[in-house]
A and B are shown apart, each in its own frame.
Chain A
Amino acid sequence: MADVNKTHAQKADGISTKVLKSGIISWIVVIAVWGLGSLGYDEYFLPSPYQTLNNAIELIQNGTLWADIAASISRVLRGWLLAVVAGVPLGLAVGSFRPVRWLVEPILSFFRFVPAIALTTLFLMWFGVGDESKVALIMYASFFPIFVNTIAGVASTDQSLVEAASCMGAKKAIVFFTVTVPSAISNIYTGIRLGLSSSIICVIAAEMLVGSDGLGYLINSSKLYYKTGWAFAGIVTLAVIGFVADRLLQLIGKKSLKHFGVK
């Protein structure tokens, strides 16, 4: 019996299973429902998939879409990378020293529930209406998942690995770099991925509130020109960027961090 089950499990997926798993069918259904729904409304209320595509092509041809994508991505990258550079070392330090952890944790749990959007006004005042305030907001938004997960990663270090290193003569600093940091990598990676999605959410909100470019601005300004299709084009682009970025990160993680427990 056991053998029979095994061969079933090992059997390669059939074509129908492959198609189901790829998600193509789900997308066809979503687009079909969207298209059917749009038949009942005019273009300003709910543009059809085809109209959205045309609007997107229009935006691509006049260069607006590329410029907005570039503006948003550049902000996300700056804010997010700053958060990584700050969050990982701070998280490692805080996680490694218990007294520091006790000091930091109450403040942390307080600010965790203050969303970046709530700070927009303050950041505009402090950092001006230019890119700085947006980058700062993105950094704030992605810092917490990175910081918190890094601390958790340090805390989850297998004590027997620390003891094994110590028995082989490793001093505390060496244990930190050869055991604690590698053990935390899986959690740090999770934090970085969560940070990226926070960054993308945050950049759109910030661009919708102030500024003159970026995908958030595109979506928000479409109402001024009665171009609902632009908003749809912006939203779809955003989803694609987020999806591709996360998949890319996942791929890198799986390939290069496999032995650090990244799945």
Chain B
Amino acid sequence: MYIRLEHINKTFGDFKASDDVSFEIEKGKLIGLLGPSGSGKTTILRMLAGLEKQDSGNIYIDGKIVNDLPSNQRGIGFVFQSYALFPYLTVYGNIAYGLKIQKKDKAFITERVHELLELVGLPGLEKRYPDQLSGGQRQRIALARALAPNPELLLLDEPFAAIDAKVRKELRTWLRETIDKIGITSIFVTHDQDEAIEVADEIVITNKGRVEQVGNPAEIYLNPKTPFVAQFIGQSAVIKNIGQLKGFENVNGKTQAVIRPEFIEINKFSDDGHHDFESAMEDGIVSEVLFRGNNFEVIVDIGKTTLTGRFPLGGQTLKKGDSVKVLIHKLYTFDDNTTEIVENSALEDNNLYYI
């Protein structure tokens, strides 16, 4: 493995920022460190860069232990959340900074700066100062500057946090493409799961200083390994007492569950006729309908529980206060330590009956 973290611990005063963190990264992969704020993801990034030192544990880059290597010898490109461009240097001066430290000759530097500005899509801006650039442009220049000295590893701390939503989406795609072009191993920190899922090859989920799960986005979405991941990923509603839900009366002792929008089906019946599985459906009242472009997002109250589901366009229309029937296909039950998928038993019974 190209990057390896082994049993890393780090505390700031009473705050445990890293609690026995271990994971590995393959060369050339783009990794998303995802977690809520205060979960220790930025600390991991800063320790990789040598900007913080772990209290215990080992960090390997390309097979070598780098524990005692200061940040100026680690060969790392770091893109800061606040860009951290030198305000008193031009774009040229900023990108050339690392190259001048490497004592490259002037012709080489000019050529390299030009090449990087082409790469980040901002040719001709050499003479501008950072305060003459937009947020998105500054972020691109910050990336160009980090890449200029040809680092082994690129680290990005919440690279899009300070950029407005529309530009952020463009930049995400652009970052993915740019990193693919260069093929550099990269790690970025984010608290936005859409960003992680869309951009990363692999996601490392952190919570309270621990690594909860490592895997590709689909794996994490479909098979959350811990209660935290089950709740954190997707648009999840947490149910406190699943025994009250039809079809989940006899679940393995666990009382809590996570239900995602795609797990439920919302029906509105206009007649009194017979409908399959109607006995397995919960009665609900629509409390909100939001148009989401390709469908409606519907918020339904079932007794004291609130669930979010989807409703297709084109057929019946739903409005606030409508009575609906809700079929819960499955859910993730969890207790303090484990999580598992449970299917609706009423559906299985009915299936047997019809066979």
> Taking beta carbons and an 8 Å cutoff, which residues of A are in contact with B?
158, 160-161, 163-171, 174, 178-179, 182-183, 185, 259-261
The distance from the CB of A172 to the nearest CB of chain B, in whole angstroms, is: 9
- Contacts A178-B97, A259-B87, A261-B87 given: A169-B80 contact, CB under 8 Å? no
Q: CB distance B101 to A259 under 8 Å?
A: no
A-B contacts, 28 of them at CB < 8 A, read A163-B78, A163-B84, A164-B145, A166-B70, A167-B49, A167-B72, A167-B77, A167-B146, A168-B72, A168-B97, A168-B101, A168-B145, A168-B146, A168-B148, A168-B149, A169-B102, A170-B72, A170-B97, A170-B101, A174-B101, A178-B86, A179-B86, A182-B86, A183-B88, A259-B87, A259-B88, A259-B131, A261-B88
Report, as a range, how many residues of chain B touch the other chain.
Answer: 20 to 34
The distance from the CB of B169 to the nearest CB of chain A, in whole angstroms, is: 25
Beyond A169-B101, A170-B97: 15 further Cβ-contacts under 8 Å?
A: A161-B86, A163-B78, A163-B84, A164-B78, A167-B74, A168-B72, A168-B98, A168-B145, A168-B148, A169-B98, A169-B102, A169-B149, A170-B72, A179-B86, A260-B87
Specify which chain B residues have a CB less than 8 angstroms from the CB of A164 in the assembled complex.
78, 80, 84, 86, 145
A interface, over-half SS = helix
Q: CB distance A167 to B78 under 8 Å?
A: yes
CA A55 to CA B237, docked complex, whole Å = 89
**Complex: chain A residue closest to B90, CB-CB:** A259
**Complex: chain A residue closest to B155, CB-CB:** A167
Q: CB distance B87 to A160 under 8 Å?
A: no
Near A by CB (< 8 A), chain B positions 76-111 give 76-78, 80, 82, 84, 86-89, 97-98, 101-102
CA A129 to CA B327, docked complex, whole Å = 100
CA A19 to CA B288, docked complex, whole Å = 60
Specify which chain B residues have a CB less than 8 angstroms from the CB of A185 in the assembled complex.
88
The distance from the CB of A256 to the nearest CB of chain B, in whole angstroms, is: 11
Specify which chain A residues have a CB less than 8 angstroms from the CB of B294 in the assembled complex.
none
Q: CB distance B80 to A166 under 8 Å?
A: no
**Complex: chain B residue closest to A259, CB-CB:** B88
Specify which chain A residues have a CB less than 8 angstroms from the CB of B98 in the assembled complex.
168-169
Specify which chain B residues have a CB less than 8 angstroms from the CB of A160 in the assembled complex.
80, 82, 84
Specify which chain B residues have a CB less than 8 angstroms from the CB of A161 in the assembled complex.
84, 86
Contact flags B128-151 to A (C-beta < 8 A → 1, else 0): 010100000000000001101100
> Taking the complex as formed, is B218 at the interface, i.e. its CB lies under 8 A from any CB of chain A?
no
